[in-house]
């Protein structure tokens, strides 16, 4: 076992955290960062400059230029420059309807996924992302479709032509033993991870495809219905709220969950196992659902209380809570990290300190409601969630954001100075630089424009892009508009230069 979070003070951890990949954490940063990023060799990143391509460029499918004959093949990637085969081009998903059953003893997942989408071009074929698993049948609008498999791609040829603007529904029947993703972006294992009594399902950045066919990229958000059947006695936990009481028949129980707000695929979960459940309501009236594995039963009440309290507090700082319920799950799978699954962050094998809960719940605004359009902008998630830890410490009187900033700044040889967080690297995506230097960027901004502009800016940010996709350029533009200042130099130094910025004043 391990400690899971240490505050920026007073110093290095004495109980190193070990992740499934064996990465050892020995720094005084939060365990989620330790688990994911520390220990990864942080090579010097060349500067990528301050010029970030527009969101349109980031999500544009690779289509032929003007004059070329217009392809009716949906691109195999959605256009993320650093993850070229993630997501797909040619359509936009509106809704996923996932009807799945999971048997922990055989580790077999079976079921069908219906994807409702709108064509963004004429389509004679298009892809879904799917890793492993066996597809038995595909239909498009009820008619049989032919399909083939490529690496993590399911290529579908509908029996009829789909025209630009058409809405269509694809149903994929499939089964098999899900295999998690490994060793991508320095993460160890992620995706659908089977456990002794169920599954621990944490999919950032591109592990949704380990359990359902999807447009597996945060630039295509959709609503979700889940109908998950598991052996009686187990609980299946997905996003959003439960619809009705779980129904048990012939030794199996079916749980129906609905996420009615747009969600990025990596935030979807179907975590399964033996859980103790508690529900409640926050002081502000928000429904709360918490679940903990039996071995964490002692943390159930505290998780409920803290989750309600912190969600309510963030709604006063960041703006209205974007979803219909809040919650959290502690599984006994010792991942050592947490993930901000929409409405229900999950803590992998540890009882989270309030600072970690504060981090994951801040992500409900930064990452979940406002989602990045391409992974290189990840600081918009992790820098904000880390800064939220500092704000939480400030709120609870532990330390100030200013002192955290100063402490990091004081270390002139920290490897984060070589890693500009405005260009998160595919091979070291969850770097400590993205978290800590990202948070420092926000603090430098706060000091430059003052609290009376900074906090309204944050609320304007969550309001303007609620449920949408965002880029770093969007944030810089809004910061300049709200503050009335030219902030290009500040953001360039903090986000895009491979060296320690000049001290803030």
Select the binding partner of residue 226 from ligand TRP, Zn ion, none (C-beta < 5 to 8 A, by kind): none
Contact assessment for residue 340 and residue 364, using Cβ atoms and an 8 Å cutoff: yes
Residue number, 17 or 125, with CB nearest to ligand TRP: 17
Distance CA 91, CA 294 (A): 43
Nearer to ligand TRP, 180 or 501 (CB): 180
- Tell me the residue length of the chain: 505
Contact 203, 269 (CB under 8 A): yes
Nearer to ligand TRP, 99 or 359 (CB): 359
| Contact of residue 470 among Zn ion, ligand TRP, none (CB under 5-8 Å per partner type) | none
Q: How far is the CB of 239 from ligand TRP (least distance, A)?
A: 15
How many whole angstroms separate alpha carbon 21 and alpha carbon 27?
17
Q: What is the Cα 130 distance to its own chain's centre? A: 18
Q: Supply the minimum distance, in Å, between the C-beta of residue 216 and ligand TRP.
A: 13
- Residue 119 interacts with Zn ion (CB under 5 A): yes or no: no
For residue 452, the minimal CB distance to Zn ion (Å) is 27
CB of 35 to ligand TRP, least distance (A): 8
Tokens of 271: 């975590």
Nearest distance from residue 217's CB to Zn ion, in Å?
A: 18
> In this structure, are residues 327 and 313 in contact, taking their beta carbons and an 8 Å threshold?
no
Strands 371-372 vs 241-242: parallel, antiparallel or unpaired: unpaired
Question: Cβ closer to ligand TRP: 21 or 258?
Answer: 21
504 lines the binding site for Zn ion (CB under 5 A): no
In whole angstroms, the minimum distance from the beta carbon of 358 to Zn ion comes to: 11
By beta-carbon proximity to ligand TRP, the closer residue of 235 and 431 is: 431
476 scored as a contact of Zn ion (CB under 5 A)? no
Name the minimum Å distance from CB 284 to ligand TRP: 24
Q: Residue 289 and residue 291: Cα distance in Å, rounded?
A: 7
Task: Look at residue 337 and give the partner it binds from ligand TRP, Zn ion, none, a contact being a CB closer than 5 to 8 Å depending on partner kind.
Answer: ligand TRP
Kindly calculate the radius of gyration of the chain based on its CA atoms and give it in whole angstroms: 22
366/404 Cα distance (integer angstroms) = 21
Cβ proximity to Zn ion: between 93 and 267 the closer is: 267
- Residue closer to ligand TRP by CB (options 190, 211) is 190
* Partner whose footprint covers residue 430, from ligand TRP, Zn ion, none (CB < 5 to 8 Å by kind): ligand TRP
Distances (CA, A) of 165 to 28, 120, 122, 237, 503: 51, 6, 8, 34, 52
The binding site for ligand TRP (CB under 6 A) comprises 32, 36, 187, 190, 202, 204, 337-340, 359-360, 382, 430
Site string for Zn ion, 377-396 (x = CB under 5 A): -----x--x-----------
Helices (H), 66-207: none
Half-sphere exposure of 24 (CA within 13 A, CB side): 6
Please enumerate in sequence order all residues whose Cβ is within 8 A of that of 411, keeping only pairs 6 or more positions apart, or say none: none
**Which residues here bind Zn ion, judged by CB under 5 A?**
382, 385
């Amino acid at each position: 076992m391990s400690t899971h979070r240490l505050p920026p003070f007073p110093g290095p951890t004495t109980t190193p955290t070990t992740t499934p990949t064996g990465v050892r954490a020995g720094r005084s940063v939060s365990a989620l960062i330790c688990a994911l990023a520390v220990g990864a060799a942080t090579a010097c990143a060349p500067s990528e400059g301050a010029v970030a391509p527009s969101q349109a460029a980031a999500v544009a499918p690779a289509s032929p230029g003007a004059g070329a004959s217009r392809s009716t093949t949906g691109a195999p990637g959605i256009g993320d420059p650093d993850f070229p085969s993630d997501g797909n081009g040619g359509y936009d998903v509106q809704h996923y309807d996932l009807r799945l059953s999971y048997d922990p003893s055989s580790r077999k997942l079976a079921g069908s996924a219906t994807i409702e989408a709108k064509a963004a071009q004429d389509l004679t074929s298009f892809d879904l992302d799917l890793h492993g698993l066996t597809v038995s049948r595909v239909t498009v609008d009820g008619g049989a479709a032919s399909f083939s498999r490529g690496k993590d791609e399911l290529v579908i040829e509908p029996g009829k032509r789909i025209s630009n603007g058409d809405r269509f529904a694809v149903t994929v029947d499939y089964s098999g033993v899900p295999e998690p993703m490994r060793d991508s972006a320095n993460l160890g294992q992620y995706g659908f991870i089977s456990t002794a009594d169920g599954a621990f399902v944490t999919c950032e950045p591109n592990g949704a495809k380990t359990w359902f066919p999807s447009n597996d990229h945060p630039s295509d958000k959709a609503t979700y219905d889940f109908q998950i059947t598991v052996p009686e006695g187990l609980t299946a936990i997905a996003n959003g709220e439960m619809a009705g009481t779980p129904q048990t028949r012939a030794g199996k129980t079916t749980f129906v969950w609905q996420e009615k707000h747009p969600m990025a695929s990596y935030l979807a979960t179907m975590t399964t196992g033996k859980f103790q459940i508690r529900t409640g309501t926050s002081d502000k009236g928000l429904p709360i659902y918490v679940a903990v594995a039996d071995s964490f039963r002692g943390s159930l009440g505290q998780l409920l209380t803290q989750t309600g309290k912190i969600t309510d507090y963030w709604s006063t700082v960041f703006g209205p809570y974007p979803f219909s319920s809040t919650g959290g799950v502690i599984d006994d799978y010792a991942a050592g990290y947490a993930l901000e699954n929409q409405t229900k962050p999950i803590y992998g094998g540890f009882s989270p300190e309030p600072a970690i809960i504060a981090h994951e719940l801040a992500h409900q605004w930064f990452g979940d409601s406002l989602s990045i359009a391409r992974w290189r902008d990840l600081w918009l998630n992790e820098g904000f969630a880390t800064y939220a830890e500092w704000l939480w410490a400030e709120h609870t009187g532990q330390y100030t954001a200013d002192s955290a900033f100063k402490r990091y700044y004081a270390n002139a040889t920290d490897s984060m100075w070589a890693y500009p967080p405005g260009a998160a690297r595919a091979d070291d995506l969850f770097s400590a630089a993205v978290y800590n230097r990202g948070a420092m960027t926000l603090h430098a901004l706060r000091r430059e424009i003052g609290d009376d502009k900074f906090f309204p800016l944050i609320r304007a940010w969550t309001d303007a892009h609620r449920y949408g996709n965002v880029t770093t350029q969007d944030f810089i533009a809004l910061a300049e508009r709200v503050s009335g200042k030219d902030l290009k130099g500040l953001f360039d130094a903090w986000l895009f230069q491979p060296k320690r910025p000049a001290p803030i004043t």
